[in-house]
A = this chain, B = another copy of it.
Amino acid sequence: MHKLIQYTLCPNSRSIRLLMAELGLETALEDENPWEWRAEFLTLNPSGELPVLFHEEGPLIAGVYAISEFIDEDMRAQSVGGGSVGVKTIFPGNRVDRAEVRRLTDWFLHKMDSEVTSHLLHEKVYSGYLSGENAAPNTDALRVARENLRYHMSYITHLMGERTWLAGTELSFADLIAASQLSVADYLGEVPWEEYEDAKLWYARIKSRPSFRALLADRIPGVAPPEHYDDLDF
C-alpha cells in the first residue's frame, strides 16, 4: 500500500488524496503539521512542502508536480505492459489537451493558493496553533484573500460556461486541484457559493464523487466547518 505524508486541510495533500482515490490506488495517510517545520520531515522533503508519497514500490516522491506526473506515467506504463487499451489517467486527451490541463493545474496549484488559500489557512488556522488563543487574524490579509477568491470563482464560472469539466470534456487533475483549494476555503466558511451558480454546480458534481467522501469527513481540532460543508445538496 502507498503512504502519503499529508495534512488534513492542506489543499495540495487533498489533491493527491483525490488523485489516488480516483485511480483506485489504496493509500494510507500519515499526518504532518506544516507549521511545525520538523527536522525529521525536512530530511524527507527539504523544501518543507506537503505532500510526500512513499510509493509502495520504493521511491519517495515529493510535491504535487512530481507525484501527479509520476503516478500518471506509472499508470500508462502498466497499461501498455498489461496490453490494456483504456488508460486511467488524470491527464486525459492528446498533447494539446494535456497542456490545457497543466495550465489550469498550475493556476489552481500556485496562483489560487498564493492569492487565496495559503492566506486563509495562515490567518484562520496556523496562526492560532502557533500563537495560542491570543492570535488575532490579520484582517487586511483576510480581506484581500476574500477579494481574490471572488476572482477565482469568476474564472471557474467562466470556464464552466463553456466546458463539461475545467480543462475540457473529461475530468482531469485540474478539477481535482481546484476542488481541493475550494474545499479548504469552504471548510473555513469562506466561499460565496450563491453568487457563482456554474461554479457551484461543478463543485457539487466533484463533491458527490466517491473519491471526495474522505475529505468531507475530515475535521481539525478547534475549527469546525459550516453545516453545508459535507452536505451534497448544499
- Which residues of A does B touch, CB under 8 Å? 46-47, 49, 59, 61-63, 65-67, 69-70, 73-74, 77, 95-96, 98-100, 102-103, 105-107, 110-111, 114, 155
Contacts and interface: CB of A to CB of B under 8 A. Distances in A.
Find the residue from A46, A74, A98, A99 having the highest chain B CB count within 10 A.
Answer: A99
Contacts of A105: 65
A110 B105 CA distance: 14
Contacts of A63: 102-103, 106
Contacts of A67: 99
Given A59-B96, A65-B106, A111 B70 contact: no
Give the number of times this chain occurs in the complex, counting copies. 2
A107 B61 contact: no
B69 A99 contact: yes
Contacts of A73: 95, 98
B46 A102 contact: no
Identify the 4 closest CB pairs spanning chains A and B, nearest first.
A66-B102, A66-B99, A66-B103, A65-B106
A106 B70 contact: no
B95 A70 contact: yes
A47 B111 contact: yes
B65 A102 contact: yes
A107 B66 contact: no
Given A105-B65, A106-B63, A70 B99 contact: yes
Contacts of A59: 96, 99
Nearest to A69: B102
Given A47-B107, A103-B61, A69 B96 contact: no
A53 B74 CA distance: 28
**By CB atoms of chain B within 10 A, which of A63, A69, A77, A103 has the most?**
A103
B114 A61 contact: no
Given A77-B95, A96-B59, A155 B46 contact: yes
A5 to B, nearest CB: 14
